[in-house]
Amino acid sequence: MRIMLGLLSVVSGLMPAIAHGGMTLQASDAIAGRTLTIQVDGAASGALVLIAGSLEGAGAGACPAGLGGACLGIEGPLVELGRATADASGRAVVAIPVPAAMEDRRVWLQAAVTGFAAGVSDVVSLQVGHLTPTWPEITSAMSVSSGPGGETITVYNTDLNDHHPANDACLDLTATPTRIHDLLMFPLHYQSPRACEVVDGPGHVANLIAWSLDDGRFYELPETAYGAETGVLWDKEGQRIVWTNTSSSPVVVVDDVDFLERSRLSFTTGVDSSGVLVGDLFYVGTTDPPDGNCNLAVVGVENPDCGAVIAVDAVSGEEADRLDYDTPATDSSPVASHFRTWIGGSVSARRVAGGATELFVGTTNQYGITDIGEIGEVDHEYRYGCSVVKLDEDLQILAAFDPGDEGCTLAEPWNPDDVAFKSAVAGEVVVVDDGVWAQYTLPNTGPAVPGTKTAEVEVFKLSHDLEEQCRFAFPTTIAQKSARFYQAPTVSATGEAYVVYNTPGNPELEASPWNTHVYELTAEPAGSGWDCTSREIMTLAERSWSSPTLADDRYVLVPTFKELHVYDLVADRIHAVLPIGSGERADMQTAPVVTDGKVILLDSVGVMTVIEGLGLSGYGSAMWPRFRRNDAALGTWED
């Protein structure tokens, strides 16, 4: 775009704006990422009409000599947005693409004609917005109450749990909402029919849901019909939304303005973790459940789509590359990968100096066909299960870290009735400036005393090359997960990690009450080693399956299904405990969202609580951006 001062010679002296010849300017709605149409009427036939734009506002503008004594009515600096020649009726039309970066900004427009029919039009002011989708509204009952400190607590009890009657008892929301424009968006997710005892019905009808920050209403995008367990990713520059789902179309890309589908990739298994976008390539890991779809013991074949990392071209929707069991040897990886494991920890990335990108993957316990060919038994070949794995952009394995029983391939499972009780990297591998953090769901080694259930669950701080720097261990039981698959550490601007673990009062008693423990972990270089310290900052009476959220570089937010607990790191004490709405049989598996001065919590059955007046403004400079810092769930750390 040209700077107006280079086209119109500016002279000293200011005069009021004058609309010579009755020139008028009209403009269509300004939508970020779309085309703005400007129509000017009343110009002389054949006149060259210039469109000037300003971000400063209306006022006494410049008076270029070329305007024949008229002055612009907008203040500089000015930009020429376009030009057109007036037709015989005196009309000129200019079409201007609106950059995505202009969203939520106000612009002032004015037309100017120089030469034989000089003059200016009136000034028009536009607010650049986004296209509001015309989706079906989901009804919700709203209640408002006051918190202990005068906060306003609004609870929206949606009918999501009854939205699809066949899935009434199955709703299980786990994805932290992503802010896209003025919408908080999250996908529905339902448990399997077997898990929730649904026999009949249409199956997993699961769509993308949006809550409007403008009008406080819920909307549904019915065209998607893809259930997902993790949040959507918003590529603002690319004007697209990418999300993964548990269906046979696991990667879907839609436009972020009209929400129409751009592309999708289908393969023969699902995805229950998030991916990461590097340029136009979306890297994501697939599931590998112990069933006939992935492990076909009857015919001795394993589905190659299962337990793989796949690079998807987000433009075409085609597969660009993959890492699976049969990935061949290369110069950098001299042996075949033999990589095959359920990817439960979302793919995250580190963009290093020079532009290269390193990928980090967290895996779960591995299944596979054993030598006796029984479905669901653990294969004793190490396939990178229960590990942190580092890859390059070509999906070559650069390093791996396995903290305990290799690949979770114990000959005797600790819980022989359910091999799913195996450890896994929770949530995602959290990348920071000096390494990565990995939280595990269950102990990686057996009980300290054979025959008992007491063991230790761990968080690790590793270097970027996956060398162990710190190990933090907490007592728990082998019989229950202490963290779920959607939790992960949150790291402050100064490097402290905050984690949530649920542990029983007595690990030997299954009926023992469980408490939530919130820890602050510190890993600092000390000579040739590391100084690793932990302290417990909160103990809560109910379980929490959420990642903690850091707000304003001072507060740690941890919700249970009943209350939001806010810890003040400066005062070193609990700052607030506020009641939140919760549905029947609800869990809290999503992280608190902080935006526009609101704290927003979404429980597993679709009850949303919005807290205003708590005095929190945003995420501050906390390091990890998946749900924090930018709301866009990008999952990339930049050095």
Alpha-carbon Rg for the chain in angstroms: 28
SS3 142: strand
Q: Evaluate whether residue 34 is within a structural domain.
A: yes
Lowest-confidence pick of 154-168, 220-234, 511-525: 154-168
Q: End-to-end CA distance of the chain, in Å?
A: 32
- Residue 187 within a domain: no
pLDDT of residue 111: 94
Query: In the structure, what pLDDT confidence band is assigned to residue 370 with cuts at 50, 70 and 90?
Result: very low
Q: Does residue 31 sit within a domain?
A: yes
Q: Partners of 612 in the beta sheet?
A: 152, 598
- Rounded to an integer, the average pLDDT of 450-464 is 88
Tokens encoding 365 = 């316990």
3-class SS of residue 576 = strand
Please give the Cα distance from 262 to 312 (Å, whole number): 13
Per the structure, the count of domains in the chain is 1
109 domain-assigned: yes
Three-state secondary-structure class, residue 113: strand
Closest to 478 (Cα-Cα) out of 450, 515, 520: 450
Over residues 154-162, the mean pLDDT reads 78
Mean pLDDT of 275-286: 93
- Mean pLDDT for 188-214 is 65
490 vs 498: CA distance, rounded Å? 5
* Strand 276-278 relative to strand 281-285, pairing: antiparallel
CA distance 545 to 536: 17
Asked whether residue 600 is domain-assigned, the answer is no
pLDDT at 413: 44
Q: Say which residue, 586 or 132, is predicted with more confidence.
A: 586
pLDDT computed for residue 591 by the predictor: 93
Question: Helices H, strands E: what count in the chain?
Answer: 1, 46
Dihedral over Cα of 321, 323, 329, 332: its sign: positive
* CATH number where 93 lies: 2.60.40.10
pLDDT cut 90: percent of the chain above it: 41
**Span 21-74, pLDDT tens digits:** 589 999 988 887 788 999 999 999 999 999 999 999 999 888 887 787 788 899
Quick one: pLDDT at residue 8? 38
Mean pLDDT estimate for the chain = 82
Per-residue pLDDT, 222: 65
User: Which pLDDT score is estimated for 197?
Assistant: 52
Nearest partner of 83 among 113, 54, 57, judged by Cα: 113
Contact yes or no for 547/499 (Cβ under 8 A)? no
The DSSP H or E segment spanning 624 is none
Residue with tokens 């061949």: 328
- Single pTM value for the model: 0.82
Residue 2 has pLDDT above 60, yes or no: no
- Distance (Å, whole) CA 411 – CA 421: 14
Which residue, 537, 467, 463, is CA-closest to 499? 537
Q: How confident is the model at residue 298 (pLDDT cuts 50, 70, 90)?
A: very low
Dump the DSSP string for 342-366.
Answer: ---EEEEEEEPTTS-EEEEEE----
The answer to the question of residue 219 being in a domain is: no
Q: Which of 1-10, 13-22, 259-268, 513-522 has the lowest mean pLDDT?
A: 1-10
Q: What is the pLDDT of residue 265?
A: 86
Q: Which residue shows structure tokens 């070329």?
A: 66
Q: 33: domain range?
A: 2-127
Q: Which two tokens stand for residue 300?
A: 């001795």
**Could you give the C-alpha distances from 211 to 158, 185, 254, 627, 629, in angstroms and in order?**
11, 6, 18, 17, 20
Taking 90 as the threshold, does the pLDDT of residue 605 lie above it? no
- Whether residue 534 has pLDDT greater than 90: yes
What residues are paired with 220 via a beta bridge? 209
Residue 421 has pLDDT above 60, yes or no: no
pLDDT at position 355 is: 81
Q: Choose between 450 and 27: higher pLDDT.
A: 27
Which residues on neighbouring strands pair with residue 638, listed in sequence order? 351
Question: Across residues 271-279, what is the average pLDDT?
Answer: 91
pLDDT score, position 608:
93
pLDDT: which is higher, 321 or 20: 321
Q: Is residue 49 part of a domain?
A: yes
Residue 630 lies in a domain: no
Q: Sorting pLDDT into bands at 50, 70 and 90, what band is 117?
A: confident
